[in-house]
Structure 1
Amino acid sequence: MTITRAATAADRDAVIAIWEICALTRPWNDPAADFQRALDHDASTIFVAERSAEIIGTAMTGFDGHRGWIYYLGVAPNRQGQGIARRLLDAACEWLRLRGCPKVELMLRDGNPASGLYEHLGWEPQDVRVFARWLT
């Protein structure tokens, strides 16, 4: 049976392994720092899907007071197609709902093959362009 729960500091290496196997990490982002920042703030968390004491999926979520965001949604390749992504999305959305969040969005890099999954689960593409600037 798969359980969904909030990640703890002890889950760091297993979570990062999922991010890496799902090609979610980028050379300019330190995944260990991303993990720690998410756990260190009340406005964010990371959910894990676990089966037989093995972490098989993750989703980072946060609430900025205006919108909720989901990042690093990944499921181990050998576990995809089993409803795990849906469970993680549901857990993240419920966490946001309990905090009064009116809308949740997720970012997907161009070319990510998961876009079909999100549309299948009822997520709608948005006409938004994201701009970024490094603060460090």
Structure 2
Amino acid sequence: MSDLRIRAACGDDLDAVLVFWATAAEGTSISDDRAGVARLVDRDPGALLLAEQGGELVGTVIAGFDGWRCHLYRLAVRPDHRRRGVASALLAAAEERFVRLGGRRGDAMVLVRNAMAHRAWRAAGYAPEEHWRRWVKPLRG
């Protein structure tokens, strides 16, 4: 994977990221639209990391830091590029970002039913904290 390039997304990448997530990401988010991704990139320009190989998008991760916690979302790798180190490279870049920003612990949102993701996250050193449960309330804007 010597030609793998990790970089922060910019406004020109939004449409390509949404198309990519439709085929490479498991599940959907309430923020999976152009406005949602644009807000992320505008508010925290380094948070959405892209992996490119040969000029093509092959992976993503959102590495958001709110000054208190380091949150990982949308780790996705193009199906024909899985098991080639793309996710590992993205997570390493995300973790480096967190350390630079003063973060102390990363947490990841992982779908309960996504067994393949469980294996990938465990291989990267992450583990579920069974004593926590995520509570959510959709907000209307």
Is the structural similarity TM-score above 0.5?
A: yes
2-structure distance, mates of 1:5, 1:27: 22
User: Aligned pair count?
Assistant: 136
TM-score, normalization: structure 2? 0.88
TM-score, L = length of structure 1? 0.91
1:41 is matched with: 43
* Corresponding residue for residue 122 of structure 2: 119
Cα displacement string for residues 57-108 of structure 1 (whole angstroms, at most 9, x for unaligned residues): 0111111222100111100000001000011011111111111011110101
1:53 equivalent in alignment to 2:55: yes
What residue is the counterpart of 1:83 in the other structure?
A: 85
Q: Percent identity?
A: 32
Counting only pairs closer than 5 Å after superposition, residues 1-136 of structure 1 correspond to structure 2 as: 1-26=3-28, 28-42=30-44, 45-112=47-114, 113-127=116-130, 128-136=132-140
Note the residue ranges of structure 2 that are not aligned, 5 or more in a row: none
Distance 1:48 1:23, change over 3 A: closer
Q: How much does 1:9 deviate?
A: 1.1
Shift of 1:24: 3.7
| RMSD of Structure 2 on Structure 1 (CA) | 1.7
Question: Is the Cα contact below 8 Å between 2:9 and 2:45 reproduced in 1?
Answer: no
Q: How far apart, CA to CA, are the structure 2 residues paired with 1:110 and 1:44?
A: 28
Checking the alignment, whether the CA contact within 8 Å between 2:9 and 2:46 is kept in structure 1 is: no
SS of structure 2 residue aligned to 1:47: strand
> How far, CA to CA, are the matches of 2:46 and 2:133 in structure 1?
23
